[in-house]
Amino acid sequence: MPIYEYQAVDSNQACSLCRGGFERLQRMADDPLRVCPDCGAPVRRLISAPAVGGSQSGFDDRAKRAGFHKLQRLGKGEYEKKY
């Protein structure tokens, strides 16, 4: 399953999760998220590289068990450092 990256449309309405962006593991057939699962603010889907989804699928499962939001934010930070 690919990982999709989302970020708040308006950072003034965003919570700590969606302001910096977060990732969701979803099936291709699933509808994209329209709002943040935490605060309900509108979010948009970002373009992400397919290779990232494959390498992080195991990470995503561990993140859910051990504190979903914090670990997903860490993953996003690492991703950004590549640029």
Residues in contact with Zn ion by CB under 5 A are 15, 17-18, 36, 38-39, 41
Closer residue to Zn ion in complex, CB, 16/55:
16
Q: How far is the CB of 32 from Zn ion (least distance, A)?
A: 15
Q: How far is the CB of 37 from Zn ion (least distance, A)?
A: 8
The DSSP H or E segment spanning 70 is helix 57-81
Encoded amino acid at 81, one letter: K
The DSSP H or E segment spanning 51 is helix 50-55
What is the DSSP code (8-state) at residue 30? S
Residue nearest to Zn ion (CB): 36
